[in-house]
Amino acid sequence: MIEITLEVNGKKRSLNVQPRRLLADVLRQEFNLSGVHIGCAQGACGCCTVHVDGSPRLSCLTFAAQCDNKTIRTVESVGGVYAEHPLQSAFRTEHGLQCGYCTPGFLMTLVPFVDAMVEEERMPDDEEIREAMSGNICRCTGYQGIVAAVRSAIGAGLERSAEK
Amino acid sequence: MTQSMDRPKHIGARILRSEDTRFLSGAARYIDDIRVPEMLHLKFVRSQIAHGRILEIDKSGLDDIGFPTQIFTGDDIGGLSIKAHQDVPEMQFSVQPLLARERVRFVGEPVAAVLADDAYLAEDAAEQVFVDYEPLPVVATMAQARDPDVPGLFENWRTNVFVERQMKGGDIAKARAEAAHIVTRTYSTQRQAGVPMEGRGVIAEFSPADRMLTVWSSTQIPHLLQTCIAEELGWPESHLRVIAPDVGGGFGVKGQVFVEEVLVAWLAVKIGRPVKWIEDRREHLTASIHARDHSHTLEAYVSADGRLLGLKADISVDVGAYSTFPFTAGGDPGMAAKVMPGPYDFQHYEATFRALATNKCPIGTYRGVGRPSAVFSQERLMDDIAKELGLDPIEFRLKNVVRQFPYKNALGFTYDPGSYAETLEKIRDLLAEDCAAAVASRSVPGKRIGVGIACFVEQTAHGTPDFTRRRVPIETGYIAAQVEMTPDGKAVVGIGLQSHGQGHETVMAQVAADALGISPSDVLVRHGDTATTPYSVGTWGSRGGALGGGAVHLAATRIADKLKAIAGHLLQADPGSIVLHDGEAYPEGNPDNAVKISKLARAALRNVDLLPEGMPPGLEAQYSLDGPGDGTYSNAVHAAVVEIDTSSGKMQLKRFVVVEDCGTILNPLIVDGQVRGGVVQGIGSAIFEHFIYDEECQPLTVTFADYLMPLAPEIPNIEVHHIETPTTRTPLGAKGLGEGGAIGPAAAIANAVADALQVDVASTPLNANAIWRLIARMREEA
C-alpha cells in the first residue's frame, strides 16, 4: 500500500492505495464519483477522462499512486448537480448526448478546449472542433450535436468576454 | 384508430430532454455504479481456443492464493442453458450452456466463473485457473459450414446449418421467362456489432426475508429477461424483479438474454451472497454478440422497358456458434429474406435463406437486424441493373417504386402509405450539383467524386402475428403503459420500455401531458424496472415511439375521460364538451368557467365525496398496445457523396443526406438525433468496423485499436429532411424510426464508390485496403 494525498474536486484527502489501483477505480469507489466512466480500460475511448492538475487525462491508464499531491477534477465539479456549466447547457440544447455514458469524458475533454478558444477570442471551424474530440468515442449521437454544443458554448463565451 | 386529442401542444414540439441533467452532472446510475453490501465480484475464465474438448480444469492455483475464492464450472451448474430454438422441422436443435460443458465452440465462451471479494482479486484468481483442451477442427467459413463432410458442432447434427428455409410469392418461373434482362450478383456485408460504450453487466441479490431475487442488468428487455431467468431456474416470476438502471447504449446488443445474466442470478441464490459481473471491453468485442456477416446472391428479372418483374435471393448468414435468445439463429437470415423486396413493385419473389454455424461469436440483433445487409444488396443491385440497362439510378428506381397504397407485396405484406417516390424526387433535387460534379470529375485525373443513394422501406412496430409466424421464443411485440395521477394533479407513467438514449422520459411525458392537459414537467416517466412497469417486450424493433407512445396516449386518454366526467359534474356541463388544457378543465369555448385539473385529481383520490354518484374513486389506467399485424412501414432515401484521391486511395465522405418519413414526428430533436446517430453507425458499417478472425477462428480485433469505431473527424454533418405521412395503424400516426438511420448508409456509400470509380462494388467494409483494390481494378478496366 502507498499513502497518497489527492485534492479531488476541491477537497484534500489522504488515503492508502495499492500501487496497481487505477485512478478511475479509486475515484469511483473511494471518492464515490460515479461520473467517471470506464469504456474500454485500454485508453482508446476517452470515457474516463478527468483533469489532473488542470489537463485532461485518461484515468483508466493512470495509477492513483502516480497522482500523489495532484489536483483532480471530475465531471461532478464542472457545473454542479444541475449541470449549469455553459457547455453542459449547450449539450442540452443541441442534443449532444443520448445514453450519456461517454458524456462526462467529452465534457472533461472539451471544457478546456472551449476555455482556450474563448481565451484566444476565436471561433474554430468544424474540422478543428472535431479534431479536439478525436480521442473520445460517442456511439449514439454521430457527434453532430456535440460539435454544435461546442460551437454554441464558445459563441456564448465570446459574447460574455465582449461584454466585459 | 387515430384518436382526436385536445389541442396537442407538446407532441411534435422540440422539447429538450428532461433526463439530460443527470447524465451531464455525473449523477446517472449505470450498472457498475450499483453496489450491494457483501457482494462478490465475478470474473470469467473464457475459452482461448475456438473449438475443442475440455480435458481438465485445473483449479489448484486457487488453494494457496491467499484470499477467499469460489469457482464454478459447467459440471457445477448441470444442464442450465439458453434455449433459443425455432420450432420448425428444418431447425437443428442446440442449446448454449451457461458455462461450457465438455466442449467449447468459440473464443470467449465462458468456461468457469471465479468469485472473490474485489474485482481485482477476482481477476487475479481467474488467472490461476488453467484449462486443458484437446483442439478440434474449426468451422471457419460459410463454405465449410455447408460442407456435409465437416462434422457437426452439436450432437446429432447433419451439417453445420442451423436452419435453411424458403419464402416465396407469385411465380418466379414466369418472371424469369418474361424477362428481357437477367442480372445476377453476389454481395456481402462483414461481421461487426453494435458496440455500446458501456459493456454488459449484471448484479443479482437474493433476499431470504421475502424470497425476492433482484437482478440488475444493463439490458433493453427487463421483462423478457425476468421470464427467461424464471423459466430456466424454475423460479416464481412473482418473486423475481429485473431492474435495468441507466444503460449506456444498447443498439440491439442488449436485446438478447445472455448466459451471463442467467448464471449470475443462479449464483446469487446458490451462494447466498450478491454477485456482480462487469464486462470488460475485450469480452465485449469477442463474446457478447456480433452482427451482420451476410452473403446474398440475387437474380433480378427485368423487362425490356426497365420494370422489375421478379427477384430470386439466396441468403447465407454466418451466425457463429450458438443460437441467441429470443430471436434465434434464424432471425437475421429470415429478416433479410422478408425485407428483400423493399420499396419496389413486383409480384414474383423467391428466397432461400440459411443460418450457418461456425466457431465464432454468436450473431444477434443490431440496429436494423438483417435490413442493413439486405438493403446493401438490394440497392447495389438496383444500381447494377440501372448501369446494365444504361438508365439513371434514380430514374430507374422512380420507375419501379410502389406508388399506390395500401400495397400488398409479393410475400403478402401490406404496406401502409409512404412517400417512396417523393423522397426520391427530393433527393434528386438536393443532389443535382453533386451528380454533375461526379460526372465532371471523371475527366480530371487524380480525384473522383461519386454520388450514391439507397432507397428503402422498413417494417416497424409489427405486432404478434409477425412473431408467431416465426415460431421463435419472442412470440409477441406489444408495449404497455400505465398512467396514474397523484392527488396534486401530477402524473406518473410506467412504460414497459427501457430507455438507453432514446429519450423516452421526455417523449412519453409529452404524450401523456397532451392527453391530460398538463405540462410535461408534471409527468414522471418510469421505465426499465419490472416491479414498477407493466409487462412488455422492451425496447427493440422500432416500436418505442409508435407503440410505447400509442400506449401512453390510450392509457392517459382513459384518465382524461374520467377527469372530464368529474369536471362536467363540478361545472354542471356536458363532459363531452370539456377540454383539458394548461392545467385547467373547462367547457369548450368557455375558459372562464374552469376548474383546475389538480382539483379534479384530488376529487378522484381524496375528496371522493365530490365525484358524480356511482363513480368509483381512483385515477389510473393501463393499456397494452400490440403492433399492427404487418407493422407500419417507414421509408427513407439516403445519399452519400464521396471524394476519392486515386493516387493515394484516400476516401472522404463529403456529404450525407437523409430524406425520411417516420409518420408523425413526436419530438424533432429526438428524431433527428436518432437518425443522425443511426447514420453514423451505418457509416461505421460501410467503411470502418470489421471483426476479423483468422483461419483458426482466433479473433484479431479485440481492442478499439483494431476494431475501428467512427470518430468525429471522419464524419460529416448529416443533413436530415422529413416528409410526414402519418399512419392510421398506430394511435398517434407515428411509425418506428430508431433503426432506420443505420439501414441505408452501407448501400449509399458503396453506390457512391461504384459511381466514383465506375467499378462494381460487391462488399463492405470499404476501408483503405478495399478502396485501393477498387482503384487498381478501375485502372485495369480502363
pLDDT in tens, B307-342: 999 999 999 999 999 999 999 999 999 999 999 999
Residues B200 and B99 in one domain: yes
Q: Which of B240, B269, B287 lies at the terminal end of a domain, its last residue?
A: B287
Q: How confident is the model at residue B150 (pLDDT cuts 50, 70, 90)?
A: very high
Please report, for the domain that includes residue B695, its CATH number: 3.30.365.10
* pLDDT tens, position by position, B579-593: 999 999 999 999 999
Q: What's the CATH number where A102 sits?
A: 1.10.150.120
Is the Cβ–Cβ distance between B97 and B13 less than 8 Å? no
**A68/A111 same-domain check:** no
Q: B237 and B345 share a domain?
A: no
Residues B353 and B454 in one domain: yes
Chain B, 182-211: which have a CB under 8 Å from a chain A CB?
A: 194-198
| Cβ atoms of B290 and B691 closer than 8 Å | yes
Pair B194, B359: CB distance under 8 Å: no
Q: Is the pLDDT of residue B4 over 80?
A: no
Same domain (yes/no): B594, B692: no
State how far the Cα of B572 lies from the Cα of B593, in Å rounded to an integer: 10
Q: Is residue B57 part of a domain?
A: yes
The total number of structural domains in chain A stands at 2
Of B575, B604, B625, which one is at a domain's C-terminal end?
Answer: B625
Exposure on the CB side of residue A22, measured as CA atoms within 13 A: 19
Domain that holds residue B508: 20-28+478-625
Instruction: Let me know whether B205 and B82 are in one domain.
Output: yes
Q: Is the pLDDT of residue A60 over 90?
A: yes
pLDDT tens digits, one per residue of B430-472: 999 999 999 999 999 999 999 999 999 999 999 999 999 999 9
Q: Of A77, A99, A115, which one is at a domain's C-terminal end?
A: A77
The model's pLDDT over B32-66, given as tens digits with 9 standing for 90+, comes to: 999 999 999 999 999 999 999 999 999 999 999 99
- What residues of chain B, 95 to 154, have a C-beta less than 8 Å from chain A? 120
Q: What's the number of domains chain B is made of?
A: 3
Q: Quick one: closest CA in A to B245, which residue?
A: A99
Q: Both B672 and B749 in a single domain?
A: yes
- Whether residue B324 is found in the same domain as residue B366: yes
Domain boundary residue among A13, A45, A77? Answer: A77
Q: pLDDT digits over B719-737, tens only?
A: 999 999 999 999 999 999 9
Task: Please give the Cα distance from B89 to B438 (Å, whole number).
Answer: 51
Q: Identify whether residues A145 and A93 lie together within a single domain.
A: yes
Do A67 and A93 belong to one domain?
Answer: no
Report pLDDT digits (tens) over B589-620: 999 999 999 999 999 999 999 999 999 999 99
- Dist CA B398 CA B361 (whole Å): 40
CB atoms within 10 A of CB A13: 11
What CATH number is associated with residue A67?
3.10.20.30
Helices (H), B288-410: 331-339, 371-389, 393-400
Q: In this structure, are residues A107 and B24 in contact, taking their beta carbons and an 8 Å threshold?
A: yes
Residue B7 has pLDDT above 80, yes or no: no
Contact B281, B354 (CB under 8 A): no
For residues B394 and B423, is the Cβ–Cβ distance under 8 A?
A: no
Residue B87: what are its φ and ψ, rounded to 5°? -85, 65
For all residues of chain B together, what is the average pLDDT? 97
Residues A66 and A91 in one domain: no
The mean pLDDT of B267-272, rounded to a whole number, is 98
Residues of A in contact with B715 (CB under 8 A): 130, 142-144
Residue A144 in contact with partner chain B when CB distance is under 8 A: yes
pLDDT of residue B6: 53
B157 within some domain: no
The pLDDT of residue B8 is above 80:
no
Q: Are A142 and B718 in contact (CB < 8 Å)?
A: yes
Which whole-number Å values give the CA distances from B398 to A81, B20, B432, B461, B706, in the listed order? 53, 42, 16, 27, 41
Instruction: Check CB contact of B709 with chain A, cutoff 8 Å.
Output: yes
Residues β-bridged to residue B529:
B243
Note whether B699 and A130 are within 8 A (CB): no
**Does residue B185 sit within a domain?**
no
Of A60, A77, A94, the residue at which a domain comes to its end is A77
Q: Could you give the dihedral angle defined by the CA atoms of residues B409, B410, B411 and B414, in that order, rounded to the nearest 10 degrees?
A: 10
CA B403 from chain centre, in angstroms, equals: 28
Q: Are strands B479-485 and B491-495 parallel, antiparallel or unpaired?
A: antiparallel
Task: Indicate whether B109 and B254 sit together in one domain.
Answer: yes
Domain for residue B8, yes or no?
no
Beta strands in B509-559 (DSSP E): 523-527
| B4 falls within a domain | no
Task: Collect all residues of chain B within an 8 Å Cβ-Cβ radius of residue A110.
Answer: none
List, for residues B59-72, the tens digit of each pLDDT value. Answer: 999 999 999 999 99
Q: Are residues A67 and A102 in the same domain?
A: no
Taking the C-alpha atoms of residue B256 and residue B260, their distance in angstroms, rounded to an integer, is 11
Of the residues B566, B595, B625, which one is the last residue of a structural domain?
Answer: B625
pLDDT at residue A164 greater than cutoff 90 = no
Determine what percent of chain B is predicted with pLDDT higher than 70: 99
Domain co-membership, B303 together with B388: yes
| Same-domain check for residues A31 and A73 | yes
> Is residue B134's pLDDT more than 50?
yes
In whole angstroms, how large is the CA radius of gyration of chain B? Answer: 27
C-alpha cell at B161: 446449418
What is residue B2's predicted lDDT score, i.e. its pLDDT? Answer: 40
Kindly indicate whether the ipTM for this predicted assembly is greater than 0.85, answering yes or no: yes
Encoded amino acid at B163, one letter = V
Nearest to A103 among B24, B196, B672 (CB): B24
Q: Kindly state whether residues B498 and B611 are assigned to the same domain.
A: yes
* Interchain CB contact of B248 with A (< 8 Å): yes
Mean pLDDT calculated for residue range B267-279? 98
* Pair (B589, B650) in one structural domain: no
User: In this structure, are residues B618 and B554 in contact, taking their beta carbons and an 8 Å threshold?
Assistant: no
Contact A91, A138 (CB under 8 A): no
In percent, the amount of chain B with pLDDT more than 90 equals: 98
Domain that holds residue A15: 2-77
Instruction: Say if residue B128 is in the same domain as residue B239.
Output: yes
For B706, which residue in chain A has the nearest alpha carbon?
Answer: A44
